[in-house]
Amino acid sequence: MTPASRFAIAAFLVFAAAATVVSARAQDIAQNAKPPDNAGTGHVCLDQKERRAEADNSRLIRLAAAMRSAKSRMPGTVVRARLCHGPDGLVYVLTVLAHDGKVARLTVDATSGTLVGER
């Protein structure tokens, strides 16, 4: 085996080991990361597993009812809906695109269906 081929094999092995370590570290970070606080509003939004657990264990209103509440305040299309922990309990954070092109983030109490915030 020539020195050049030994160097090439060693370089390949080092590169493969580094790629494996970086990939494993990226997976660890992704699994342990919490969703952002929803653009500085102080809300910590739930993932799918947490949403299901909350729906099973508490008296949440349906998302459709929360959307109706938001649309009564701002007619338009709900383009994003998230269930989050707010300062006073669970809330739906709805992003609404109005017919005039404006975008608003409305917060609806997830147990009562009342509109509790707007941005």
Domain 36-118: give its CATH architecture.
Roll (3.10)
Alpha-carbon span 31 to 25, nearest angstrom: 10
Q: Average the pLDDT over each of 15-29, 41-55, 67-81 and give the range with the smallest value.
A: 15-29
**Res 73 pLDDT > 60:** yes
Indicate the pTM of the whole model: 0.64
Please count the other Cβ atoms lying within 10 Å of the Cβ belonging to residue 76: 18
* Domain boundaries along the sequence of the chain: 1-33, 36-118
pLDDT at position 91, please? 95
Q: How confident is the model at residue 17 (pLDDT cuts 50, 70, 90)?
A: low
Alpha-carbon span 91 to 112, nearest angstrom: 10
Mean pLDDT of the region 89-95: 94
